[in-house]
Chains A and B, each alone.
Chain A
């Protein structure tokens, strides 16, 4: 059985390729079923976002990778990367933890992976192996987010502006935002402020027609630039992006507005070059001026901070990956172990029953003792082989040798398993191999409504 990943991301393919391969959410179930129907593919999952399309699958052999690749079509072929087993699992863990993202630490990818898992589950293409890998990858991603600062701090200019607005004004509910000029980035910031609760978007532009058009687009109120002094008395945040060659918001203008504002703080975001806001206005009480350089610097600082935590995050991912791989290997060793145990127990039980039948008049206490002794002998004898087989995790020769030595190839009748060997300080029963389609030991992946 092979765990594999075929896909491409922003690292391997330009957007022109990615947009042709992207699978819309409504088409995902059908697409993932199509992939699962390919020869040798047992389980399949598609993660399709604007930055990547990745297919994770559990298959009978590596050749399934080629099948999947050819199913993706000729557009993908020159860019796609095939990863197998450990590498494929590592990739899944890194993608979920946002270590492979364009902006390291971004929050959306975790939701996108969960969404993809839920869709695959609904489509019936998620089996036990992929489910386990996903569950572990998601928990690793969660650890990365809580134990490192990789997701801390905004890294884009507009989100920095929103974060600072929160820092100054607290909740943005009911706040008034003034847009001076209609620059792209200013619009972006205004939209983000509105989505955070700002109730009023005042839009002033040199061209009144443009102001009205924009007001319609983003549900704002067009206002005249001539009203600037009174607008500055009203707004809590002003985003400036006009092409004016001199300061529009001067220190003097702001000083006059302050008294009328009753010293309510105002956040002036100056995204224009040349600048629209006189820098010395920042010296006034309750006036906070941030220009493009300041915002960029803050963004860069946060990017550096995130970068400095990448090592720690990779460590967590690696730790979780190791644990997952170990468990996975152990599970593969289970069939031989289970058969060996069953065999040993069957022999012991048969012998005990034979002995008991020949010893008439043995009271219940003695019968119990005899059974316990047989069980103890089995446990003692089984302890060493069990540990060795577990340690080998299905990778070495012992599994096959055990099967050959004890004639375990043919699964015989399955008696009740004996408890785990006593010498283990904390006996941990190995999970039974889950047949495909059986109820999984994980919570179902939920889709966002």
Chain B
């Protein structure tokens, strides 16, 4: 049941992505409305899949699950990104960000399907771990926020380039103001940083529960710490020296690439190896 729901929601995300991308080319509000409805419908189905009875392919998430699977994390991340975007869009009216978020969500859902085939389980010590549950949740929310901040930063660079070059392109009229992109991007970075902090802390607890090591040395952990440090520095620079605009956008992009490195680390780590479970995110 859960698998069917996830498949349908993926289809809704694909259709939503197509609607938003079409809007970039053909600026009719109908496409935006269609995109929003499709993403929202996809999100509802997706949320339903989390509480639907588990089946052979996708275990339900939550405490007491037989095993966390990498696919679930990506699935959760995709849902969190869509939720974050819909909230952002509701507050700021940012359909242009939808053109980034919807394809991103689809891209994230693909690993969700790929990873499940390897079906790696966590170490048995973590089956009922509260720390791991919080860790996965915080990691998904943090990554979703930073993914949105990353998208907005790219948008900022494109938009700023058009203003500076004084040659606005076709898409220019549909871009929000630089100030809005900058502020929204910063807010998301702060939220992302907070969740990332929680994810690292709880991850380290989970790691200790399973193997006794608080911070194992592995690519995933290394990249996550680097990304966290970069976002910490970025927030500090914003608060103290008033950094904003282009330089902040570049830092957010770098930070997100580092965080993506942590996911690559997660996916390439050997199955059921001690450090993987120790790492906490998901095996």
Contacts and interface: CB of A to CB of B under 8 A. Distances in A.
B179 A265 contact: yes
Interface stretch (B9-17, B53-61, B161-169, B190-198): B161-169
Most chain B CB atoms below 10 A, which of A261, A264, A265, A290: A265
Contacts of B176: 170
Interface stretch (A112-120, A160-168, A226-234, A394-402): A160-168
Interface residues of A, number: 22
A288 B245 contact: no
Interface string A274-290: 00000000100110101
A249 B235 CA distance: 32
B33 interface: no
A170 B242 contact: no
Given A166-B177, A169-B177, A170-B179, A263 B243 contact: yes
A117 B45 CA distance: 51
A263 B244 contact: yes
Given A169-B179, A170-B179, A282 B245 contact: no
A164 B242 contact: no
For this complex, into which size category does the number of interface residues on chain B fall?
10 to 19
Nearest to A291: B166
Interface in A293-331: 294, 297-298, 301
B173 interface: yes
Interface in B82-105: none
A294 B166 contact: yes
Contacts of B175: 167
A280 to B, nearest CB: 12
A286 B241 CA distance: 14
Interface in B112-161: none
A263 B173 contact: no
Contacts of B179: 168-170, 265
A443 interface: no
Interface string A240-264: 0000000000000000000001111
B178 interface: yes
15 contacts: A152-B173, A164-B163, A167-B175, A167-B178, A169-B177, A169-B179, A170-B178, A170-B180, A261-B242, A265-B245, A282-B164, A288-B164, A290-B166, A294-B166, A298-B168
Interface of B: 163-164, 166, 168, 173, 175-180, 241-247
